């Protein structure tokens, strides 16, 4: 009985340790379009467009650097339940008009772009504007001030089946850079799930043996 008890305990501990050691880690993807541009338009439509890749992209894109810190992954495989964050961030300065900056996203051709937000930014301020696609919100920071609000017409579902997208701007300001960051939650692998079940089975077996011995 003591040998059985010891064996079950060892199997249980090994299964739990192995299950946690081989769990799929949280994965992330970061890409930045380093192109800067002085943007000046007299119409509300975005006219300056910048391309960015999405997870599963594996190639060369002009002015773009990207990385998979914890290994390459496919965005579509984690949609919708495992997306942890999805943000697009632009940095700019020298807004010299009283007109709003218009922002749009496109997947096919600029005439069919999706308008997501328009906002008048105080003139001659350096600013960082982050669009939270997962939660449909934005945060605009300049000096020590942060403004928040909602974005429209876009969601994480729109990026399924895509390997790249364009973001466009319209108004009078200097764009410094645009970046995208996407993270996905850990997903148990089949082997991890099996090891976890084995550990639970060992624990149940140990509990039953203990009860039988107590009754005897």
pLDDT in tens, 27-55: 999 999 999 999 998 766 788 999 999 99
Residues 59 and 139 in one domain: yes
Residues 193 and 110 in one domain: no
E strand segments, 2-136: 27-33, 37-40, 48-53, 64-67, 83-93, 101-106, 114-119, 127-132
pLDDT at residue 24 in the model: 55
Is the pLDDT at 159 greater than 60? The verdict is yes
Residues 3 and 102 in one domain: no
Q: With the CA atoms of 140, 146, 149 and 150 taken in that order, what torsion angle do they form, in degrees rounded to the nearest 10?
A: 40
pLDDT in tens, 85-135: 999 999 999 998 888 999 999 998 666 899 999 999 988 899 999 999 999
Residues 36 and 1 in one domain: no
pLDDT at residue 192 in the model: 45
- For the record, the structure tokens of 98 come out as 């009283």
Average pLDDT over the chain, rounded to an integer? 82
- For the record, the structure tokens of 192 come out as 């991890």
pLDDT in tens, 49-73: 999 999 999 899 999 999 999 999 9
Is the pLDDT at 1 greater than 60? The verdict is no
> 150, exposed or middle or buried, with CB in 10 Å at 0-12, 13-18, 19+?
exposed
Residues 18 and 44 in one domain: no
* For residue 117, cis peptide bond before it (omega within 30 degrees of 0): no
Contact 158, 126 (CB under 8 A): no
Q: How far apart are CA 163 and CA 57, in angstroms?
A: 6
Q: How many domains does the chain have?
A: 2
Residues 17 and 111 in one domain: no
pLDDT at residue 178 in the model: 98
Q: What are phi and psi of 158, to 5 degrees?
A: -70, -15
pLDDT at residue 168 in the model: 95
CATH code, domain with 63 = 2.60.120
Q: What are phi and psi of 17, to 5 degrees?
A: -65, -45
Burial annotation 106-120 (CB, 10 A radius, 16+ → b, else e) = beeeeeebebbbbee
C-alpha distance across the termini of the chain, in Å = 12
- What is the domain extent for residue 17? 1-23+188-216
Residues 49 and 78 in one domain: yes
pLDDT at residue 156 in the model: 96
Residues 182 and 196 in one domain: no
Residues 17 and 33 in one domain: no
Across 198-215, average pLDDT: 50
pLDDT at residue 101 in the model: 94
Contact 119, 196 (CB under 8 A): no
């Amino acid at each position: 009985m003591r040998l059985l008890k010891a064996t079950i305990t060892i199997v249980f501990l090994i299964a739990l340790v192995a299950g946690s050691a081989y769990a799929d880690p949280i994965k992330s993807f970061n890409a930045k379009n380093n192109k800067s541009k002085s943007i000046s338009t007299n119409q509300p439509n975005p006219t300056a467009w910048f391309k960015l890749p999405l997870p599963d992209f594996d190639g060369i894109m002009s002015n773009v650097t990207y990385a998979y810190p914890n290994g390459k992954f496919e965005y579509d495989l984690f949609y919708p339940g495992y997306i942890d964050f999805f943000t697009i961030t632009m940095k700019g300065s020298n807004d010299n008009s009283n007109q709003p900056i218009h922002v749009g996203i496109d997947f096919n051709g600029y005439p069919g772009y999706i308008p997501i937000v328009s906002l008048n930014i105080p003139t001659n301020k350096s600013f960082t504007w982050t669009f939270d696609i997962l939660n449909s919100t934005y945060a605009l920071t300049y000096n020590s001030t942060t403004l928040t609000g909602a974005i429209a017409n876009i969601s994480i579902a729109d990026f399924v089946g895509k390997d790249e997208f364009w973001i466009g701007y319209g108004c009078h300001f200097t764009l410094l850079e645009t970046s995208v960051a996407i993270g996905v939650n850990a997903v148990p692998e089949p082997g991890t799930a099996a090891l976890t079940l084995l550990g639970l089975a060992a624990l149940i077996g140990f509990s039953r043996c203990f009860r039988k011995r107590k009754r005897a």
